[in-house]
A and B are shown apart, each in its own frame.
Chain A
């Protein structure tokens, strides 16, 4: 079974600064996908970024980028130029490539952006 670990329950950052959220996972699969989801106080789950394991290039979406280290089974999220609206719970998630239908989530990291 796959496991996803987020070792930082809470983090804080000043507005306009950069912050990195950590995620590690355990799997014997070679083909899989990794995701970061954001959950603001509204409770809505929002897809932030997606990474395909067979792609070497790290995914980026505007101010969000990942550092995907396949050998180390590490998938960190970097948020640049942090904004107050980035305050949210962030979840790392894993999906096997063969099933393509089941997401395994980490416990989440609560990020607070301070003015």
Chain B
């Protein structure tokens, strides 16, 4: 089992560019989430999904879009990158409510 796979691991964007962070899991988990990690702030929830076709906003959704067309994939789209979006991004999945999440290895994104 690969678990949760995130690509790319590192990315540098110019302000205004768009890109998609990929996330895939092979554990048949229903729940998937995106978090961003900034120094001194822990991890904050961007968007989450409780199943294919169902997504909802988290704590810091502005500037990001998601979709969930399959159980396995949950891509995160940055519409127009801003320096404030410089962060480490984690994708995570869980088999059902109340269970711990399994995290991917993260994507370090720098917006210049």
Contact = CB atoms under 8 A, between A and B. Distances in A.
A101 B24 CA distance: 17
Interface string A43-56: 11111001010000
Given A52-B98, A97-B98, A107-B41, A102 B48 contact: yes
A34 B103 CA distance: 16
B91 to A, nearest CB: 10
Interface in A68-115: 91, 95, 97, 99-108
Contact of A33 (B35, B44, B98): B98
B88 A102 contact: no
Contact of A102 (B33, B40, B41, B99): B33
Nearest to A6: B42
B48 A101 contact: yes
A25 interface: no
B40 A107 contact: yes
Interface residues of A, number: 25
A58 to B, nearest CB: 17
A43 B42 contact: no
A97 B90 CA distance: 22
Contacts of A46: 103
Given A101-B48, A102-B48, A107-B41, A47 B92 contact: no
B106 interface: yes
B103 A108 contact: no
Interface of B: 31, 33, 35, 40-45, 48, 50, 58, 88, 90, 92, 94, 96-103, 105-106
Q: Which 3 A-B pairs have the closest CB atoms?
A: A100-B97, A45-B103, A105-B42
